Chains A and B, each alone.
Chain A
């Protein structure tokens, strides 16, 4: 996967970048659970976690200890190999996808003079790679649901297949219009496009932005489309039989996916990690990712979720034609100009 590197990138720089991504995003994913609980609590006039540490900040550590020390149960009739592999797929694909996403601007570490690139592996089809990896991540709920010999799990797995077959087309088609404008599949080129144009992509492609957000929420099982593990309907869907660390891996994978979608939306539509006015790039990308993350929580607090058949109807009968029309219009405008 080390196809087209910038010349001055060294192995040390890539390793440092990979460690940064792993450590920071894994930490952020854990921190995300705290943020989610807090924000949802405030939106429902509650307080959320308060007792462990100041304002419950150390709740993370308490939860981590709890997850690590919990008994790891594998149901009797479950397919043990697949049951054990599924959570690893979730976490692994989430972090592999992050390997091809530019998180921060490139920088050089002073004193030891190591150049750290903006992206761990700048393959020139980055955006497709990220989407493909996140799509492969949906095998985790599918396998988890099918291997655990539990009816709720089977329903969760069936809904995974339904959801995947619905949103995947919309994700690809909604990103196609921005890709046509930029003329490249590399996420770094998207960032540079914003720098050249001086205008965010969302101004040119508002429809594509909304479509991508909707599909992204379906991709990460966030609330309007959290069919896979909706407590009110299918106890916990594909994670019904999971406990302890395996469940924690699912959780971390889900939050890492949320961050990935946030980064993708920021880089493709919201100007990436370019400087804005007096704010430096690394600050802007953090603000944008934080906003996208907050938007997911905000939506979760506000909107009800929809049925599987409604999701299929929405994706195939509404969003896909909209995306096609958007692509056609974009193409015609590009030909005329």
Chain B
């Protein structure tokens, strides 16, 4: 009973939120509803008893959408609507509907054919995190490692792309600091001479007035 109520609450809010994400012309609305929808999806995992996945969904997508926000902040004025260009709205709608249909078929075909069975059913008495770990490091070890390598490649590529001037700080010019701290006058008399000149000039200007 409670699960049904919770499921429908989560389902409706997820669909509505993602609908806003797609439909809205305002960057802030779109991204906020995206974040909200991600949080709502984690509710399904909690309902299914997959606490670990739910929490991972929360943490990962909160961070990912936060990075998206950073980009939105750089590229758009958040308080104004985006002007969208629709070249061929009919084609977009038809293709989108077809895609949706294909996905429905793909996911419903096994259900209709009653071919769903868990390859690795949950072991009784084992926590969520352990169950995920057992599957990850046995059956899906190779894809897991491959994904890790791909992420590493992406990270290194990002560092190389962004990191050309990484050590050059915009806020602290070490050269300038060195110059100030370690500047020595050529000789002490020069310094005094400079000071006298400045004082003389000040005096003349004062007298002129």
Which residues of A are interface residues toward B (Cβ below 8 A)? 1, 3, 77-79, 81-82, 85, 123-125, 128-129, 131-133, 135-136, 138-139, 142-143, 146-147, 149, 154, 157-158, 161-162, 164-165, 168, 172, 184-185, 307, 309
Contacts and interface: CB of A to CB of B under 8 A. Distances in A.
11 contacts: A125-B129, A128-B59, A129-B55, A132-B55, A138-B66, A142-B69, A158-B73, A161-B66, A161-B69, A185-B129, A309-B169
A79 B62 contact: no
Nearest to A135: B62
A147 B171 CA distance: 28
A41 B63 CA distance: 37
Given A132-B55, A136-B39, A147-B79, 10 more contacts: A78-B79, A128-B56, A132-B62, A135-B59, A135-B63, A136-B62, A138-B66, A139-B35, A146-B78, A172-B59
A131 B60 CA distance: 11
The majority secondary structure among interface residues of chain B is helix
Nearest to B76: A146
B100 to A, nearest CB: 28
A162 B69 CA distance: 11
Contacts of B59: 128, 131-132, 135, 168, 172
A128 B52 CA distance: 8
B26 A136 contact: no
A164 B63 contact: yes
Nearest to A86: B32
Nearest to B68: A161
A79 B69 CA distance: 16
Nearest to B65: A139
Contacts of A149: 79
Nearest to B53: A125
Nearest to B59: A132
A149 to B, nearest CB: 5
Nearest to A148: B79
A157 B73 contact: yes
B58 interface: yes
A82 to B, nearest CB: 5
Nearest to B46: A1
A79 B28 contact: yes
A165 B66 contact: yes
B66 A164 contact: yes
Nearest to B129: A185
A79 B63 CA distance: 23
A133 B78 contact: no
B28 A132 contact: no
B29 interface: yes
Top 10 A-B pairs, shortest CB-CB distance: A132-B58, A128-B55, A161-B70, A132-B59, A146-B78, A125-B51, A149-B79, A125-B55, A135-B62, A123-B51
B127 interface: yes
A124 B46 contact: no
B49 interface: yes
A184 B73 contact: no
B93 to A, nearest CB: 27
B38 to A, nearest CB: 9
B67 interface: yes
Contacts of A309: 169-171
A95 B77 CA distance: 32
A259 B67 CA distance: 27
B128 interface: yes
